[in-house]
Structure 1
C-alpha cells in the first residue's frame, strides 16, 4: 500500500525560473535619461517599465513588484529617498533591490541612501555600460539570496511535514497522515479493511515504568509498532493515533472474514512476551474492524469511526480480542440525521453563540484582538462541540448560512464594543465553501457597512489546506477584501504544505502557529527549531505571527524570545461569551495599568 512518504506533494518550487526575463522599474523625471536607461536595459533582454514621478513609481512598485527599482533621487514631489523609504516599509515589496541615481557625489548623500536601505548608487553622468553592469550585479546578488531562501524554506517545509505527519516515538505516520490516507482511500481500490488497535491496560504499564524508566514504555510501543508492520507488510499502512492506539488500513482482505483473520494474527503478535532487563512483559490488545467498499453509502471517514466504535466494544467486553463493526449497535446515519435536522432549527431558534478568546501582544502584554469561536447550545444534547457539527455543516452546505451568521454576529459585537473596546480586531474563520463563493467579498463588505464597522477591525482566517486548494477567484476575493481594509490570516500554519508561491499569491498578513507545535516547547528541541524557523521565515516575508494554544509560562517566554508577535491560549483566557469577555478585558486592562 502506498505510504505517506511517497504521496505527499512537495509544493510548488519557489526558486525563480532562470529563463524568466527580469522586470526593472525606472523612476526618473527627466525624459531623456528615462529613455536612455530603458534602452540600455532592454538591450539585455529585460522587461523595463518607467515612471516619471515618485508617486507614479510607487504605484507601479505595488502593482508590478519588479525584480529591481532604479530611481532618481532629485525629483519634484516625492523624491528618491522617500520612494526608497516607502518600499522598505511595504510588507510585500521591502526586499526588492533599489539602486539610487543622482548627480550628487557627496559622501553624506550616498551614506544616507545606504543607511535607508539602498542596494547601490549610480552617480550621474553614467554610461550605458555602468547601468548594465550595476543592474546585472544587483539582480545576480538578489537571485543568490532568493535561491538560498528557497532552500531554507524547503528544508523548513520538510521538517514541518515530518513533524506534523509522523509520530516521533515510533516513526509511524500519525493521525494527520491517517486522515490524509482516508481521503485518498475514497479514490483508490476496494475493499479496504479499517482496523483500530488499542493496547489493553496501557495506563497500568505507564504507571509502573514511566516515572522511573520511561524508556521501557517507549521500547514496548516501538516493538509493537514493528510487529504490526511486519504482519501488514506491503498490503497495508500502520498509523499511531495516540499513546496506546494504532490504526491499520489493510488492502489484502477480500471480505470481513479475511480482515478478522488478519486482526487475530496482529493480536497474536502483540501478545508475544517482551523481555527487558530480565523482566518478561506481556501486553494484550483490543481491535475493531470495519470494511469499506467503493461506491458504498458511507465515506471512509465514517467507516473509520465504525472501526473505533468496534474497538471500544472489544475493550469494554474484556479486551484481548477483535470485534467486527455491528451496524445495528451504531446507527450513525440516524444520529447524523438528527444532528443535521437540529442544525437547521438552531439558526432559526438562535441556539448558536459566539465566544471570544483574547489575542495578546507578546512584547507589551496589550490586548490586540480576539478570535470569534462558534458554540452550539442544544436544548437536549447540551453544548455540542464544533468538531462534531462543523464537518456535517460543511458536507451539507449549511456552513455557508452558518458562516454568514458568524460574520454578522461578530460585526454586531464589534459595533456594540466600539465604546468599551475601540479598535478591537475580531478574527473570524472562513470555510472552504465560503472561500469559493464569488459573492463572498460583496457579502462581507455589505455586512461591515450595515453595522458601521471599520474593515480593519475584521480579520479573516483560512486554513493552510484551504489556501493551497483555493483557486484564483478566492485569491481575487481576498485581495479585494484586503484592499478594503480587512486582515487575512493563515490558521493552523505548519499542519499543511503551502509553498512560498501560495503565501505570495494570497494577501496574507499573518500566520498562526498551530497548537501542536506550541504544546511541546520549550522541552522538545525539534519543535523549538520548527517554531523558530516558522517565525523567522514569516517575518522575512513581512508577516505577523500569532501562536495559539499557549497555556504555560515557559511556552510564553520561549515564544517571546523567538520574536512571536501575538499570543492566544488558556494562559490568558479560555473562549468566553461576550459579557464574560468584556468583564475579563476590563480586569486585564486594570492589571496592566
Structure 2
C-alpha cells in the first residue's frame, strides 16, 4: 500500500497533495503491474515515480533520514545531487537518468549520501521502469536500503571487489615467507563496443558468464576479483612466467569451449597483462601500474594474448602518453600537423581514373610521421576521432568541389570509424557539412572498416540505412579480414566491397587468393555490388586482376597516396582534358 502524505507538509501544500492523489490513483489503477516489481525488489524503502510528470512518492522515514523536503517531490534529482557524495555522483547520475530516459530497464547501484546530521551513509538502490503502450518510460519503481557498510562483493559477478584485491595483495607483501608476487589482470577485448552495440545489461551478462568461466579454469588456491570496468584480477604467489602463461592459456581454452550467451553468438576474446617481482622490491601501486601497462600493450598489439611487463612495455607507455599529448596539441592548433593524402582509384578494364580515397596522415612534432595504424586507435579511444573525422570530411569535399564541375562522375571515398558512427550526432553533422558545401551526395562514398566494426550486424544495418537514405554509397573496407564478412553481406546492403590487399600480395603464387576474389566477384554481381581490389603494385598482378572481372583497382601501380599539391599536379590537368 502507498501511504498517505504527511498532513503537516509545509512546502507547496496544495500542489503536493494534488500530485499525491495523482500518484495514488495511478498506482491503484495499475497495481497488478506494480506489485510484482515491488515484490521483486522488496527492500527497506519503496519509491514510486511518474516519469512523465517527474513526480515521486517517498516513504515517510526517508525524507526524515536524508533531508528531502517531503514525501512527494517534483524533480527529486535536484535534491539528491546536493546530498550524494561527490565521488559517487557521476555513477548515481548515469544510473538514474539512464532509467528515466529509458536507456535501460533496471539498475542496481550503491552510493553514499549525507544524512540530516551530515554523516555519510551507504545506500543500496535498485530500480525498474514500466513502459507505456508506446514503449516510453512511464513509472519508476525503486527500492532503497541502508547498508551498514559498503559490501565488498560485486553485484554482477558475485566476486570480491577491487578493495579486497588491494587489501589481500598488501597482506601478502608483508608475508616474509613469500619470495615473489605476481599480478595478472584480464580484460575483455572490445568490451566498450559490446556495450555500445548491444546494451549495458548485455555487457553485464557477458561479464557474469566470463567470471564463471575464469573461476572454473583457475587452480583452487587462486582467487578471482572483479576490478574496474571489464577487468578481472588474480594474485600469483611464488609463481613464474611459465606458470602464469599456463593459467592464462587454460582460461582461453575453456573460453573457446563455451558459448558466452545462448541467444546470440558473440565472439569474446580476452587479453592479459602480468607483472612478477620480488616481494620486497615492489609496492602495490607500482606492480598494479606495470600490470595495467602490460594489459594495454597486449590489446594494442593484437589482443587475445598475455604480455609480461618489460622495458619495451614501459617505453611504449611513455610513447603512448607523448603521442596523446601531441595529438591534442595538433587538434587544438587548428589540426596542425594533420594532412589528407589522396590515392587514385581506376577502372579495372579501361584504367580510367574514376575517383580518389582520402587518407589521413599525421606528422608528430617529436616522432615524425606516425602510422595511421598507431594514431587512429588513440583518436578512437579518446573520442577525438569525432572532431577529426568531421574535419577530414569537410576538407575533402572542399578540395574536390570544383573538380566535379570538370569531371562530374568523380567518386570520393572517405574512411569513417565505427566509433564515429556510434555517435548519434555523426550522421546529422555529416549531412550539415555536405549541405553547407553544396556537395552532391552521389559523388560521395563512406568506407567502413569491416574488421573494426562488426559486433552487432543489426546495428550496422541501421547505420548504413541512415547513410544510404541521404543518397551516400557505403563501401565495406578490408573485406575478408574479419570473422564475419559473409554474415554481413547476407544482412547488410552495401554498394561496394573493397577486398583487402593481403589477397593481392601472393596472387601470382597462391591459387586460393585467385579463387577467393573470383568467388566474391560472382556473389557481388548477383546483388549489384561493385568490387574494388586494393594493393595492386605490379604489372603482372594487374594482368591477373583484369581477368577476374573486378570493377575498380587501387594500388601503387596507379599511384601512391599523395598530398593535395601532388594530386593537383598529377591528375587535375588530365581530368581537364
Provide TM-score, normalisation by structure 2.
Answer: 0.48
1 or 2 for the larger relative contact order (CA 8 Å, sep ≥6)? 1
Provide TM-score, normalisation by structure 1.
Answer: 0.47
